[in-house]
Structure 1
Amino acid sequence: MRPASDFPGGWPPAASLEALRSRARQLSFVRGFFESRQVLEVETPVIGRHGVSDLNLDSIPASLSAVPGWPDCGGWLQTSPEYHMKRLLAAGSGPIFQIAHAFRDGERGRRHNHEFSLLEWYRPGFDDNALMDEVAELVCNWLGVAEPRRLSYRGAFQQYLDLDPFLVTDSALAHRCERWVGVDLAATLSRDECLDVLMSHEVEAALKSEPPTFIGLYPASQAALAKTSVQDGVTVAHRFELYVAGIELCNGYWELTDAAEQRRRFEQDNERRRLVGKPVMPLDENLLAALEAGVPDCAGVALGLDRLLMLKLGTTDIADVLPFPVERA
């Protein structure tokens, strides 16, 4: 297949034929990995009744003709298959995985496309540590990289920034961010926003030259859909991310299964959205009902397949592994 540069206009695919072949091999590898472990492949809707309330994610509305019981907006392209997969878990599916297309507005860059491929799986009976073992096996076998080391969020900040993210004052955090975002903006950032700035600009930058690394045990304020516990005198979230060559590959949780606590977090998300002028998102009552009915104790993870392929092929631009990134869609 000839490169896109050989053709005028925007119709040719961006990815090379070799990239397309490697993507096909990757999909085959993933399916074989889970088949050998008797994890069931499932499919869930791309368009759902609800979007997500997470402040950092912007769902894309999907306009449909009138559907009984659906909101006036018609629905949302799903940012991940998580909510529907948890409903399957509550119904007794057992361990499941999905290769899904996910959609997030406002995300375009060398590592982001509005539409992307996501591998998501759930393991009843696993905690975050057990799931990290399985993530490592999949990633290491495909990429041929070293076994990831494990650092706590606290340990990473202490090692690379020489500060404790749980004990440092808000003013000291804001001051540390000034070199990256300027004095005026730093003064307006919340504590978690400051931590995110430092994670992306300093911790992730340092991890580019480090071996593969799991970062775990995030601050409870960043728990999202993860369980929390008290460790070393602070409340932490049982959440982890894997970085390879400084690229974040996945986000995993020892999953929260308490419906009342999940409702409280959704409502808290919406309050934060109000404060910054983002639309309030109706709560997904079907997910909450599934949690009430009993999602089994489990761990789950979402892994970016496009980024995984970028690492396999040694490219730094997601367009190199997509047949048609958004500009050519």
Structure 2
Amino acid sequence: MSASPSPWWSPHRHADRRPALLTRNRIVASLRGHFAARDFVEVEAAALQVSPGNEAHLSAFATSVIGNDGAESRLYLHTSPEFACKKLLAAGETRLFSLARVFRNRERGPLHHPEFTMLEWYRAGQDYEVLMRDCAEILALAAEEAQVRTLRFRGRESDPFAAFERLTLAEAFERHAGIDLLATIAADGSTDRDALAAGLAARGLRVAPDDTWADLFSRVLVASIEPKLGDGRPTILCEYPVSEAALARPSPRDPRVAERFELYACGVELANAFGELTDPHEQRRRFEAEMAEKARVYGESYPIDEDFLAALAIMPEASGIALGLDRLVMLAVGAPRIDDVIWTPVADSPALSGSAA
């Protein structure tokens, strides 16, 4: 039986980790300067929120808040500062960014940590494609601070200075899985589960009787597409189906897809961006659908932040993006695990390490 590794605070192990951690500090400092030079204001979002987010497969940490009278109420540690940042857009901020500690349950592995740092930034009145240019600048910035020309993860490489590949979900499904994705989506955004199941079955991919369209979509994405993204150069994967973009507005070019993209390098998802949905009625409908799915799969759901929906009604048109800072640092220093670039990682345990990799 092999001995357990030394804790992160043991002097010899800390000495090995310290160069990557100092690089992390340089990247953070450079990011703050980058945004300040572009007239962004840094904001701090409270970690305690009425709702931690309303996406079906995000799991949160709950806590009890005790008032002066001894009465208890439930709050959650946020999974993203998104709701708070959008309230600030409604309040009148036009360019803002946040380096927020966020918390996600049911997540531990080489790319996942229950507490991590999310870099989010928002641009009022600007199209979400501007965020693609922001991403190019930020990847180059991280590489420069790490004094490298190549991002690396477990034997894979990506050039952060190269022009990004741009690929729609429809193109990715056709190229990497031979499936016509848009043929399974109606003009109103509704999906045809049986049509997508037939596409998977024809290519030998597993289909279970209780799989939903979303289950099948995710299976193809994870098994056949994501491993091929960001090789050699970063990839922008864009135009997600509307049903897979709960907080994004529909594309004016095709109502079946939304203004959502994700950024990949070395097969690793780094960022998730939206042209923001600002219709509170449609947002409520989507949240309710997401929570119904969460209840079906996990037997629980989270409350809807009514204050957020009220703010959404006066929020300006905007674009916003969330980027995993720890993952960016990982790729810049070539670390194999996210814990290697976190100053004080949460103690591991068999229960935690048994979750998703």
* TM-score, scaled relative to structure 1: 0.89
Encode CA deviations 1:238-261: one digit per residue, 9 max, x unaligned: 000000111100000000011111
Could you tell me which amino acid in structure 1 is paired with residue 330 of structure 2?
M
Partner Cα separation in structure 2 for residue 288 and residue 322 of structure 1 = 34
Partner Cα separation in structure 2 for residue 243 and residue 117 of structure 1 = 18
Partner Cα separation in structure 2 for residue 160 and residue 212 of structure 1 = 17
Could you tell me which amino acid in structure 1 is paired with residue 110 of structure 2?
R
Encode CA deviations 1:266-286: one digit per residue, 9 max, x unaligned: 111122123224312211011
Q: 1:295 aligns with which of 279, 296, 315?
A: 315
Partner Cα separation in structure 2 for residue 111 and residue 290 of structure 1 = 33
Mind listing any 5+ residue stretches in structure 2 that lack a counterpart? 144-148, 150-159, 185-194, 350-357
Following superposition, the deviation at residue 142 of structure 1 comes to 2.2
Corresponding residue for residue 324 of structure 1? 344
Could you tell me which amino acid in structure 2 is paired with residue 76 of structure 1?
Y
Corresponding residue for residue 152 of structure 1? 168
SS in 1 for 2:251: strand
SS in 2 for 1:198: helix
1:269 maps to 2:290 = yes
Partner Cα separation in structure 1 for residue 8 and residue 232 of structure 2 = 38
Following superposition, the deviation at residue 328 of structure 1 comes to 5.8
Corresponding residue for residue 157 of structure 2? none
SS in 2 for 1:327: coil
Question: How many pairs are equivalent?
Answer: 317
1:240 maps to 2:240 = no
Corresponding residue for residue 307 of structure 1? 327
Partner Cα separation in structure 2 for residue 6 and residue 174 of structure 1 = 42
CA contact (8 A) 1:44 1:81 kept: yes
1:172 maps to 2:198 = yes
Corresponding residue for residue 60 of structure 1? 61
Partner Cα separation in structure 2 for residue 270 and residue 7 of structure 1 = 40
Following superposition, the deviation at residue 230 of structure 1 comes to 5.3
Partner Cα separation in structure 2 for residue 91 and residue 306 of structure 1 = 30
Following superposition, the deviation at residue 125 of structure 1 comes to 1.6
Corresponding residue for residue 226 of structure 2? 204
Deviates more, 1:139-148 or 1:52-61: 139-148
Deviates more, 1:58-67 or 1:86-95: 58-67
Partner Cα separation in structure 1 for residue 36 and residue 7 of structure 2 = 42
Partner Cα separation in structure 2 for residue 265 and residue 131 of structure 1 = 24
* TM-score, scaled relative to structure 2: 0.82
Following superposition, the deviation at residue 60 of structure 1 comes to 0.7
Could you tell me which amino acid in structure 2 is paired with residue 253 of structure 1?
F
**1:254-265 map, 5 Å:** 254-265=275-286
CA contact (8 A) 2:182 2:256 kept: no
Which consecutive aligned stretches of 4+ in structure 1 deviate over 3 angstroms post-superposition? 5-15, 176-179
Partner Cα separation in structure 2 for residue 7 and residue 229 of structure 1 = 49
The alignment-based identity, stated in percent, is: 36
Mind listing any 5+ residue stretches in structure 1 that lack a counterpart? none
Compared with structure 1, are the counterparts of its residues 172 and 231 closer, same or farther at alpha carbon in structure 2 (3 Å cutoff)?
farther
Partner Cα separation in structure 1 for residue 99 and residue 53 of structure 2 = 19
The CA RMSD over aligned residues, in Å, is: 2.4
SS in 1 for 2:339: helix
SS in 1 for 2:131: helix
Encode CA deviations 1:134-171: one digit per residue, 9 max, x unaligned: 12221133225112121111111111112221225132
Corresponding residue for residue 213 of structure 1? 235
